[in-house]
Amino acid sequence: MEQTFIILKPSTITRALVGDVLTRFQRKGLRIAGIKMMQLDEDILRRHYAHLVDRDFFPDLLKSMMVTPVIVAVLSGKDAVAVVRSMTGATNCRKAAPGTIRGDFGMSGQENIIHASDSPENAAIEIERFFKPEEIFDYTLLTLPATYAPDEL
């Protein structure tokens, strides 16, 4: 099964939305393969957001990602990267479609609730950046036969 990586950002911790966001992924049928709380620092954020370091909003983004600890998780499922990105919605919460996490829970471009990997390649890099191998668990949910048809597994 494909794995993807998410961060529940400080806005989610502060606004008490952790349960709401995680519940959506569990109800969808994604398996939580790893989950923990951690305090991000400038070093890891500069690597995670390397594509944005030259943008004028980067100092504000950096600060906002360190306001509280975050919750990082690895989600597993068929086509997990694309499924989780589509559940996440457009970057700016005000433009994100209703029914998406950002569309339902946020009002901001920066304080947009969640990070989700944008490709399987980046998911693999991000999982390795944030998790030790022993923090990711390979187990089978008993709900698997009710979640997928045999030819989807």
Q: With respect to ligand IDP, which residue has the nearer C-beta, 22 or 96?
A: 96
51 flagged as catalytic: no
For residue 90, give the nearest of 79, 104, 78 by alpha carbon.
104
Token readout for 13 is 């911790």
Q: With respect to ligand IDP, which residue has the nearer C-beta, 61 or 141?
A: 61
Per the CB < 8 A criterion, the answer to whether 10 and 65 are in contact is yes
Least distance (Å) between residue 28 CB and ligand IDP: 19
Least distance (Å) between residue 30 CB and ligand IDP: 18
Residue numbers at the binding site for ligand IDP (CB under 6 A): 52, 57, 61, 91, 109-110, 112, 115, 118
Q: Single out the catalytic residue among 9, 31, 102, 115.
A: 115
Q: With respect to ligand IDP, which residue has the nearer C-beta, 79 or 118?
A: 118
Least distance (Å) between residue 91 CB and ligand IDP: 3
152-to-13, 28, 64 alpha-carbon distances in Å: 35, 16, 40
The catalytic residue positions are 115
